[in-house]
Amino acid sequence: MHIGELFALPAGTPFRPGFSYWSLDQAPSDSTVIGSGSEGDGGIIAAVGYSFYPKERNITLFPPTKRIATACTNTPVPVRKRDYVITPEGTLDRTNGLLWHALGATDKRAKYIYDEAEKMCENLALHGRKWRLPTLEELYGIVDYSRFRPAADTQYFGPMMHRYYWSGEPLNDTEAYVVGFKLGSVATAPKKEEAYARCVSDSE
């Protein structure tokens, strides 16, 4: 199954407790396997695979040789429809009416603990709109696996940092979900750690 299909399955899906599941998605890794590819000593770029951990809804990268469970489907690979447009107020997703604040409207290199990120968005004074942190589904929704470092369309979202961004969705009192835009992973992080933030505004 495509990683997006696994992520979108309902919470009651009968996965085996404690297991992760492979998706069909792969990406280049950070390392080169020297001398083992068809190009001789130049080697090949090693691949990593994307797995889904249903218990915490994490998307993790592993070497393809790791033994992980598999969930299969007999449906065609879905084609994701994306319909973005740049407006004076930011990047508008015309599929859901969600507006992403322009990357240059805040310091793109600024990092925040979770509470600071929430306040930054809530206090953002742009275009007379109300802003907030995106939900996990909204933030993960802009991940684009056809792109690499960042795994998002920079034409519409700019050169996003290759690390974690906060979602507005907590896992518990001390952790919240983050999305990594280096390769498109989903994880949880302690709220006291720092990560990047991108704010959204609902359709008016």
pLDDT band at 65 (very low <50, low <70, confident <90, very high): confident
CATH homologous superfamily of domain 84-201?
Mannose-Binding Protein A, subunit A (3.10.100.10)
Alpha helices in the chain, H assignment, sequence order:
3-8, 114-122, 136-140, 154-157
In the chain, ranges of CATH 3.10.100.10 domains:
84-201
The rounded distance, in Å, linking the Cα atoms of 44 and 24 is: 20
Give me the chain's average pLDDT, please.
87
Residue 104 has a pLDDT of 85
Judged against a pLDDT cut of 70, whether residue 42 lies above it is answered with no
Residues in the chain: 204
Residue 122 has what DSSP assignment? H
At 147 the pLDDT is 86
Top-confidence residue, 116 or 11:
116
Q: Is 34 a residue whose pLDDT tops 50?
A: no
For 8, list phi and psi in degrees, rounded to 5. -85, -10
Give residue 29's pLDDT: 66
State what percent of residues in the chain have pLDDT above 90.
63
Sheet of 84-87, strand order: 84-87, 90-93, 98-101, 200-201
Residue 47 has pLDDT above 80, yes or no: no
Residue 43, pLDDT above cutoff 60: no
pLDDT digits over 94-138, tens only? 999 999 999 888 888 999 999 999 999 999 988 889 999 999 999
Q: CA nearest 57: which of 163, 152, 188?
A: 188
pLDDT grade, residue 16 (50/70/90)? very high
Considering only 23-32, 87-96, 103-112, 177-186, which range has the smallest mean pLDDT? 23-32
pLDDT at 161 over 50: yes
Q: Quick one: pLDDT at residue 31?
A: 54
Band (pLDDT 50/70/90 cuts) for residue 173 is: very high
Amino acid at 6: L
